[in-house]
Structure 1
C-alpha cells in the first residue's frame, strides 16, 4: 500500500511522507493560521486580553490534534473552504451596510 496515495492535498504538498521533519510543522502552521482566520472571521467577539490568550492557547493546542488528522483527512482543505465562505460573507455584509448607509 502506497501511503502517498492517501495523503490529503496539503500533506502531499508539504511532502509529509518524504520529509516529516519540515512537512509536519508546515502543515501544523497552515492549520493554525487557517483556524485563527476562521475564528476571527466567524466567531471572535471583543474579549479581554486574558480571555483572548486562553482561547488562542486552546485553539493552538487543538490544532495539534487536527494536524495528525490532517495528514490523511481533508482538515486543511475544509478550513480553506470555511475561510473563503466567511470572507465572501464579510465582504457582502460590508457592501450591504454601505448600501444601506447610502440609502438611509
Structure 2
C-alpha cells in the first residue's frame, strides 16, 4: 500500500531537496502555532506564552524529522487538525451567539 505524501511530493517538485528540512520545519512550526491557537491556547501572560512558543520551536524539530526523514504525513495531519478545530470554533461561536 502506497502512502500519500501530497505536500512532501509537491515541495520536492517545486523546491528540490536542498533545503527540504528547513522548509518543512517552518511549515510545521506555523501549522503547529495555528493548531495551538485554535484549540488549546488560553490567555497567558507574555512570558508564559513565550515559553510555550520556545518549547514548540524545539518540539517541532522532532516532528520535522518525522516529516522528512521518515516521510510521515505530519503536515497533512496538521492541516486536517486545523480544519477540524476551525469547524469546532466556528460552531461554538454560533452556538454562543444564538444563546445571547
Mark yes or no: TM-score above 0.5.
yes
Counterpart-to-counterpart distance in 1, 2:25 and 2:77: 14
How many residue pairs match? The answer is: 96
Structure 1 unpaired stretches of 5+: none
Structure 2 length-normalised TM: 0.85
* Structure 2: stretches of 5+ with no match in the other structure: none
SS at match of 1:73: coil
CA RMSD, 1 decimal = 2.0
Partner deviation per Cα, 1:49-94 (whole Å, 9 max, x = no partner): 1111111011011111111101210111111111000000000011
Greater Rg by CA: 1
4+ residue segments displaced more than 3 Å:
none
Using a 3 Å threshold, how does the CA distance of structure 1 residues 7 and 28 change in structure 2: closer, same or farther?
farther
CA offset digits 1:24-50 (Å, max 9, x no partner) = 222111111110001001111111111
